[in-house]
Structures are given as structure tokens and as C-alpha cells.
Amino acid sequence: MGRQRKRVVTGEAAPLPRKDEKPPAFHRKEKKKKVDIGKVFINISIGLCIFSLIWFFYALYMRSSLAKRVATLHPSPPVLDANCSSAKVSPERFWGSYRPQVYFGMKTRSPRSIVTGMMWMRQFSDTDVNLRHTCEQGDGLQGYGWMMHDGLTFGVQEILDNDITLTTEFVKKMGGGHGGDWTWRITAKQQSSAPQAPVISLMFYAAADTQGSLEAHVEDRNRLASITGFSEELGNFKITFRKPVTGELSSAKYASYNYLQTVSPGLEKLTDIVKQSLNRRFVYSPPSGEKRHYIAIDTYKPPHHQNQQKPADTRKEIDFVVHQVTVQTPFQIEVLFESGSFHSRPNQLVGSIMTQELEKRKAEFDSKFEKTFGLESKGFSQAHIKFAKAALSNMLGGMGYFYGQSVVQSVYNEYPLLYPEGALFTAVPSRSFFPRGFLWDEGFHQLLLSKWDPQVTREAIAHWIDLMNMEGWIPREQILGDEARSKVPAEFVVQRNENANPPTLFLALQELIEQLSSNPEKAASQPTLPFLRRLFPRLKTWFEWYNTTQTGPLPNSYRWRGRDKDTNLFLNPKTLTSGLDDYPRASHPSADERHVDLHCWMALSSGIMASIARLLGEPHQDYELSHQVLSDNNLLNELHWSDQLHAFSDYGNHTQAVSLQQEKVYVPPGQPRHQFPVARLVRSVRRAPKLQYVNALGYVSLFPFLLHILTADSPKLEHIFSDMRDSNKLWTPYGLRSISKADPLYMKRNTEHDAPYWRGPIWININYLAVRALHHYSNIEGPYQEKAAALYKELRTNLINNVYRQYVETGYIWEQYNDSTGRGQGSHPFTGWSSLTVLMMAEQY
């Protein structure tokens, strides 16, 4: 213990206070003051802590709340009733070819449908196993697609597989309470004159998608005669496999039979299960001819066992039954589906009855096609009309019914979330490459389908709008269900809620409004008004979402979100959200950008919103004002006219002095090169970017003309028509190329792996808008009326002739067309917006 110091006191010591003596008043005040200040500081500290805690928990709550918004559906009543696609409400549309991703198959418009389909393969061929099932460009078929399809009751498809032609036909017959009956007829013929007719195996199957059960009925040891089953939507049903015949009236042909009854973890596994069950132990022994071993389904053993590391598939297994018939061409086989609730069936839909029904439907289709499009009266040849019927039929036959959950994410989510389960009835761009729904494609699809069947358009738009979240956002690519997800690269699966897509559904809505206005008494247009009334609350939110999330840096300007952020690897960072992918925008993405195409989409949308509001008796003044402001040609010129280019242009942080260069990888002396990274192509910027017009002449430059924003007397039309007709810029004998031949990025790769996409090739959707706009300006009095009429005639003829010629030469309608040769390229068949050729032929805009 330390010693205490003695205090040294000089002078007299102050007397010690007595116990009963009070301290002086100023001492008491000072002490009280100290206590009061201390209390204040303590109270402030406690208050700050409480406030901080409240703020912390409020911020957590808000972040949690904002994080949930991306996956919370819009609160207004859905446009569609919950059971609108059921067999009771819509029996005639219940069954259909709603599986566009397979060459031939049918399902119902229900979340967990019984699915049916067909696979095939050639026996005794040079290749080992050439099983066909899902539409694959790698299969190298010479052509496939629906030649006739009314979207409702029947379809006729031709498949050309080397020297074999398969014709797949179906007819539906209404009756009972579960969507009625249907029959398939598959006819196989040899196209070549080879002495040995090919032997092929057809595999018909049924699978129960997590609900329902299937039971196989086998006769003669290995021939599957029929399948009986039950599901909630279908009740009891029976699928009968008839024996192959040479023709409708001939007797049965020799065939070998096999069957498989197993389970599958999901519909996307069906092809793999069949492949893994194949065996060569079976013998094909026709009465006259050599005996040969052939490949057939046998037994299936799941490939993953308990001792393997891969986790087991936790999904509920589904019943899967396959009937294989192996027979020499030519032959014909029928498969009959009969509903258990169809009690008063006069006769089975097979043989001559099936033929009669089919011929009747074909005649009705031909009559309706001519009445709708009038191509015969316009002088088109039968070959051209056959092509146009195929283009329409393939879009109708490509309608799909999908059910599942999107994977979504917002800036408030650390990880992606599952969107609520939903259904989508939609056309698809390409059965082979894009067999799912795309938002901006669908608006173009419905321009054609609304002419044929407005009810299809109303239902498709309603399905899309019902997928809207509470913010007003619709995921632009719909990847619903395991089958759809299995065809999509992982980097494209997650949908982000700041990303838009052109609101082309407004084009289809405009068409429905015009049909109603021009002929309000027509039965097909009657449901449009109540449909718009149910649609309107969500439509308002959708429009507002664009108007708040996609705004630009200046008043009444707009900017696409979602551009690629890694500027090091891209010659020009892509803008997938605009629909025009690699079309050149500002070289350095920034918040200073202004996009002219989006400005025009908003001008169009505000005008159509005003029309709908007026039609419904809702307040329309704000939409009308927006439309007037955004359509103001002076504003458009101020924001987007480039005097240097003499064209409309985007604006942003930009330089044209960019190129892709091989990056330099330093390898120390004496070190092996293969141990170091492979040199990539990376972007080299030779001159710093600055805020300026992008000056890329192409499709984006045309948007004020394409969407009729320019007035008929606008002097800008003269520049646009001049650029369009200049073969050194946009004009080709096959259609308008996507970017000027004189542009520095014309036909330039965007990365070492990305070939030019919207940098030269001809796209039919934008060319359709151009033909439509020329038709518009040629019918309005103005100084450029005659020029528009001449360009209209020439461009329309070029487009129709080239798309038709390529179809005849290649068997396909294509995603895009080469601007130098007119040759079809990209995805095929692409009977999405390329089918708009039919409307150009009909001159219906």
C-alpha cells in the first residue's frame, strides 16, 4: 500500500465546517447544475440510442419490405379468372399442341397437365442413336412445321428427316366435361428412290406431371395396346394405340413392339430416360426379309445410386409410359384419346371418320384464311398462299402453355428469389431455340394473331399482364417450369426488376381497339371492352413503372436500364433490355444517356393509354398531355436530332475510337506459356469518351418514323427516306439492314465469342414497322407522300420475295436475313415476328 503524502499548509487553516452547518448557497447551485447537465446528457444519449435502434429496425424493415416487393404480385384483381383455362369454362381450348419445344405433343391448359408426345428414330442407320424428340437445330432436319393449324380444333404438320417425311395430324372433338376426345394420325413415307425402304421406330408416350396416374395395358407380351389414367382435370381417360397400316383402308402391317413403364423426376428428363433404356437385344424379323437386331426401349435404371455424392432429386416422381412401334415405311398409325365423361360418343374418331373430320376442318381453315387475309384476291400464287398459311399456322402451333416460377432479383436482394407461381399462355419466337415467352416479341406475335382470333390475343395479353408485380414490373423473359429452364443458360435465368423491354403489347392493344371501333357489332370484338376494363388498373401501373424507372437525365427523356457493365470485354456494351441487344449505343454506359427508341415507345404507349381511358370513361387528360409532349417534334429534335449525322440519335458518354485487341499476357522468361492465362480480346479505347450524340445510323434512328411520331410535313422525313433508300447505308434488295454499311461497327464482333447480331442483318419485325409506317405516310397528305408510296411498294416487295424464296430453298422461316445475300440465318424455324410477312402480303397494318 502506498504511503500518503502529508499536506503542507501555509498560513492559517480554514476552519472545518460543523456537521449542523449548511454549505453556502452557491455551492448548492453549482452541484445542482452539474447534476442537471449530467441528466440532460444521459437523457440525450438514451434518446439517441433509442432513435438509432428505431432507425436501425426501420431500415431493416424497409429493406426487408423493399426486398419482398420484387416477388409480390400486383394487388388489383387478376385480369383472368382463376379457372378461365379449365375444361368447364373453356373446353374448346383445353387440349392443344401447347408444347412448342417438342416436334409433336399435346397437353392441357392446366398447371400439372398429363402430357403426351412422340419421339422417333431411324433403325439400321450409320449413326448410333438418332433419337428425335425436342426441337433441336442440331438435328439437321430439312424442314418441320405446321402447314395448317387453326389454333383450336386441328393441325397438320410436315417433318422432313433426311429421306423420310412424317406427317403429324390431330383433330379434336368436343364432348363430356373434360375437353373431349382427340386423335393423332402419323403418316410416314420415303422420299428417295432407294431400293430398301427405311425402317423407323415411333415412340408415343404419356407422362403425368406430378398429379394423376397412368396404367399400361399390354397384349401379346410386349405390345402396349392402351393406357388408362386419371387426373383431377381429366377425370378418367383412355389412350389407345392402333396398329400400323399401309393406308386408311388396308390391313395391319408387320411391326415390332416394345414398351416402357417407369417414373421420372421431371418432364425435362424424358428424353434421357428413353435413351438410357435403349437396348440392341431385340430382333426385327419381317415375314419376307432378313432378321436384324434393332434398338428399342427395354428397362430403365436411374443412373445415380445411394453411394454417389450427387444429391438425390427431391421432386415428386411422375408416371411415364412409352409405346414403341418399329415398322418399315410407308405406314400410317393412329393414337386415340377418349375422355371418360364423353358418354354419348356417336363413333370413334378414327379411320374414315377421322379423315372426314380432317377434310372438313381443312376446308374451314382455307375459307377463313382467305376471308381474313385475302391473298388470293390480291393475285398471290397458290405456292405463296401455302407459305403464308404455314407462317400463320406455325405461330398458332407454337402457342405454349407454361406454368412455374421465375427467378427474380432486385438491388435490395442479396440472392435471387422465386417469383409466385403463375401460368403463361403465349406464342414463342422459335420452337427450337427460344421455346418460351419473351415480352417484346409477344406484342409483334399478337399483331398477326389478333387478325385471326382476337380471343387468343386477349388471353395472351391477360396472362402476361397478370404476371406483373406490385411495382408494375413484368419479367421480360418467362422461364417457367423445369422443361423451359433446362433450355436456358444459367446467366440468363435471373430476371432483374430494374430492366424493362419495349412495351409492344400496346401495339396489340391498339389493334384490338381499332377492331372494336371499326366494327363494334362484330361478335369477335364484343369481349374487348370488358377485357380492357379489367386490364386497365394493371395497365396504369405498368405505364407508370416505365415512366418512373426508365427516365433519362433531362425532363421527358428516357434511358434503358440494364446495359452490360463490364466495358472491358465488349466493343460496345449490350442493351439487351431494348430488344436490340448489341445495336451500338454510347460506348461508355452512364446515367447521362438518352435513348430515342424508348422515347418513341413511351410516346406511342401514352397515346394508347389515352385511347383506352377515353373508351372506358376514365380520366385521360394526363395520358393525353404526356402523348402531346412526347410527340412534340421540336422536343424530339432538341433531345435526339444529330446535325452531324442528319438523323435521330442516342446521346451519351461516347467515343468511336474503340476496337477489340488481343490483351498482352506477360510470361516470365523460361516459364511455359500454357501455365498462364489465354490472351483474350479486350476493348482498346484510343480516344477518351465525351458527352455527345452516338451517331450510329440504323434501326434506332428510324424510330420517330417507325412509330408515326413525326408529323407528315416534318422535314426530317426527307433525311430518313434518303438514308433508307441508300444502298451504302440501309437499303438492300432483301430489306433494310439493321445498321448503316458506313458505320464503324457495321458487322463488327462485340466480343471474341459474340458475332454481330443487330449490326447489319435484316430483321423482319423492324422491317414490318417500316413498311407499316410507309403505308401510313403514303396515305396522309404531305410533301413526302409520293416518296413514301414508292418506298412502300419497293420495300414490301423485296421483303416478301426474299422471305418466301428462302423458305422454298431451305424449308424454314428464319430469325434474320443476311444483308449481302438475303440468306436466312440464326434460329430456325423462327415463326415468331418473321411471320409478320403474312400481314405485309395482306397489306393489313
Q: Are 200 and 190 in contact, with CB atoms under 8 Å apart? A: no
Among 267, 452, 250, residue whose Cα is nearest residue 351: 250
Q: List residues with catalytic annotation.
A: 581, 815
Final residue in a domain of this structure, among 522, 549, 569: 522
Whether 289 is covered by a domain: the verdict is yes
Residue range of the domain that includes 428: 410-522
Pairwise CA distance, residues 827 & 434, whole Å = 8
Tell me: do 208 and 159 sit in the same domain. Answer: yes
Q: Across the 845 residues of the chain, what is the mean pLDDT of every consecutive 10-residue run?
A: 41 48 54 68 84 72 77 95 89 96 96 95 85 95 97 97 96 93 96 86 93 91 94 93 83 90 92 94 89 92 58 74 96 96 89 95 98 97 98 97 95 93 96 96 98 97 97 96 88 92 98 94 91 97 97 97 88 96 96 98 98 96 98 98 96 94 81 75 92 97 98 98 98 98 96 93 98 98 97 98 98 98 97 98 97
Encode pLDDT of 331-365 as tens digits. 999 999 999 999 888 889 999 999 999 999 999 99
Q: What is the DSSP string of 237-248?
A: EEEEEPPPBSST
Within 10 angstroms of residue 676's Cβ, the number of other Cβ atoms is 12
Within 10 angstroms of residue 20's Cβ, the number of other Cβ atoms is 5
pLDDT at 194: 78
Q: Are 624 and 610 in contact, with CB atoms under 8 Å apart? A: yes
Pairwise CA distance, residues 93 & 333, whole Å = 25
Placement of cell 370513361 in the chain? 617
> What cell does 126 get?
450409320
Q: Are 273 and 117 in contact, with CB atoms under 8 Å apart? A: no
Placement of cell 410507309 in the chain? 774
Pairwise CA distance, residues 594 & 630, whole Å = 13
Longest dimension (CA), the chain: 144
Burial class (CB in 10 A: 0-12, 13-18, 19+), 220: exposed
Among 259, 398, 228, 250, residue whose Cα is nearest residue 333: 250
Whether 575 is covered by a domain: the verdict is no
Encode pLDDT of 769-826 as tens digits. 999 999 999 999 999 999 999 999 999 999 999 999 999 999 999 999 999 999 999 9
Whether 764 is covered by a domain: the verdict is no
Element at 261 (helix H, strand E):
strand 256-264
pLDDT at 23: 54
Contacts of 266 (CB under 8 A, 6+ apart): 313, 315, 318, 482, 483
Total count of domains within the chain: 2
Tell me: do 426 and 286 sit in the same domain. Answer: no
Pairwise CA distance, residues 655 & 636, whole Å = 23
Tell me: do 269 and 332 sit in the same domain. Answer: yes
Element at 404 (helix H, strand E):
strand 400-404
Tell me: do 259 and 153 sit in the same domain. Answer: yes
Tell me: do 365 and 444 sit in the same domain. Answer: no
Tell me: do 223 and 363 sit in the same domain. Answer: yes
Tell me: do 181 and 327 sit in the same domain. Answer: yes
Whether 155 is covered by a domain: the verdict is yes
Pairwise CA distance, residues 821 & 835, whole Å = 20
Tell me: do 417 and 282 sit in the same domain. Answer: no
Cβ-count burial 808-825 (b if 16+ within 10 Å, e if not): eeebbbbbbbbbeebbbb
Q: Which amino acid is at 334?
A: E
Burial class (CB in 10 A: 0-12, 13-18, 19+), 637: middle
Tell me: do 205 and 326 sit in the same domain. Answer: yes
Whether 754 is covered by a domain: the verdict is no
> What cell does 533 get?
376494363
Tell me: do 284 and 428 sit in the same domain. Answer: no
Tell me: do 274 and 414 sit in the same domain. Answer: no
Element at 186 (helix H, strand E):
strand 181-190
> What cell does 657 get?
475510337
Where helices occur in 205-346 by DSSP H, the ranges are 270-277
Q: Are 633 and 554 in contact, with CB atoms under 8 Å apart? A: no
Residue count of the chain, please give it: 845
Cβ-count burial 327-356 (b if 16+ within 10 Å, e if not): bbbbbbbbbbbbbbebeeeeebbbbeebee
Is residue 553 reached through a cis peptide bond, with omega within 30 degrees of 0 on the bond before it?
no
Pairwise CA distance, residues 734 & 740, whole Å = 15
Residue 202 sits in a domain whose CATH number is 2.70.98.110
Q: Are 319 and 208 in contact, with CB atoms under 8 Å apart? A: yes
Whether 713 is covered by a domain: the verdict is no
Q: Are 551 and 559 in contact, with CB atoms under 8 Å apart? A: yes
φ and ψ of 71, to 5 deg: -115, 25
Among 845, 735, 713, residue whose Cα is nearest residue 788: 713
pLDDT at 307: 52
Among 113, 117, 114, residue whose Cα is nearest residue 101: 117
Element at 793 (helix H, strand E):
helix 785-810
Q: Are 194 and 211 in contact, with CB atoms under 8 Å apart? A: no
Note the pTM of the prediction, 2 decimals: 0.91
Q: What is the DSSP string of 61-82?
A: HHHHHHHHHTTSB-SSPPSS-T
Placement of cell 372494336 in the chain? 516
Final residue in a domain of this structure, among 522, 556, 585: 522
Among 244, 236, 242, 185, residue whose Cα is nearest residue 215: 236
Is residue 829 reached through a cis peptide bond, with omega within 30 degrees of 0 on the bond before it?
yes
Q: Are 259 and 218 in contact, with CB atoms under 8 Å apart? A: yes
Pairwise CA distance, residues 775 & 92, whole Å = 37
φ and ψ of 784, to 5 deg: -115, 15
Pairwise CA distance, residues 748 & 745, whole Å = 5
Whether 691 is covered by a domain: the verdict is no
Tell me: do 351 and 415 sit in the same domain. Answer: no
Whether 57 is covered by a domain: the verdict is no
Contacts of 353 (CB under 8 A, 6+ apart): 347
Placement of cell 399390354 in the chain? 218
Pairwise CA distance, residues 587 & 815, whole Å = 27
